[in-house]
Structure 1
């Protein structure tokens, strides 16, 4: 990626994911504490309490994966990082940057009717998403113009 890099991450989703992670840890920790203090029809050991806290931490970690999506772009390429993986495309590989009606996320349209969802640009972010799409389209157009001039 060159020096002028556009970067976008989801905004509202981050607050929800962080809040959800906190709730998971707090609830499972409280359940773990209450396991031994009240009779539930079974005997719970300290290991059961630790396991409950561990489950809360695992669920919190899973919720925090929703914070990971990011899109980075410059005049040469675009990199889309979603929850589990990242892919990089030159602008020549991308046919369109779109946000279909009713879609939850933006996407890169590729040849042969393929597309890559951009989880970093969700519909719930409203004007932030519109600005991000416009910037990606501007970079694609600028890349096409420079390619055309060089060729």
Structure 2
């Protein structure tokens, strides 16, 4: 099992993160610059421009925070506004089907959890490799009973 990544490992959409944070910083800088270049604005109006730029940056930073952290005891899924800790035994299957916007984890309680930290948007091959690595880690750490035959 030498092809498994060393734990702990963090999966995140690096290109998307860079684009979102750079766009957020640029938007904040432009809005702040405009606020101070417009002489007819009052101090309160300037402050509202800066505040709006900060809010836009914060929203893009929230979108950029998505990740999956795998360690010896399980997986932490950090999505836009939520964080969920899972034991390895809770993960039944790791899915990234063609056309999926991100990985989905099928869980032992019958639910499915979206994992925005692995998304094939900008870097498809990287996301596929990350999904395979997470699947291999889950398979290596979970003893699963074979499914009973259907019939």
TM-score, normalised to structure 2, is: 0.81
Q: Pick the aligned partner of 1:126 from 124, 127, 142.
A: 124
Task: Mark the structure with the bigger radius of gyration.
Answer: 1
1:85 aligns with 2:82: yes
1:13 aligns with 2:10: no
Q: Is the 8 A contact 1:75 1:139 kept in 2?
A: no
Per the TM alignment, residue 12 of structure 1 is displaced from its structure 2 partner at its CA by 1.2
1:71-82 maps to which residues of 2 (within 5 A)? 71-82=68-79
Per the TM alignment, residue 93 of structure 1 is displaced from its structure 2 partner at its CA by 1.5
Report the counterpart of residue 105 of structure 1 in structure 2.
Answer: 102
Q: Is the 8 A contact 1:77 1:91 kept in 2?
A: yes
1:54 aligns with 2:51: yes
- Cα RMSD (Å) of the superposition? 2.1
Instruction: Write the distance in 2 (CA, Å) between the matches of 1:81 and 1:112.
Output: 19
Report the counterpart of residue 144 of structure 1 in structure 2.
Answer: 142
Unaligned ranges ≥5, structure 2: 1-5, 146-151
Unaligned ranges ≥5, structure 1: 38-43
Q: Is the 8 A contact 1:75 1:140 kept in 2?
A: no
Instruction: Write the distance in 2 (CA, Å) between the matches of 1:90 and 1:5.
Output: 14
- Spell out, residue by residue over 1:89-112, the C-alpha distance to the aligned partner (whole angstroms, 9 max, x if none): 122222210012211111111246
Question: 1 or 2, which has the higher helix percentage?
Answer: 1
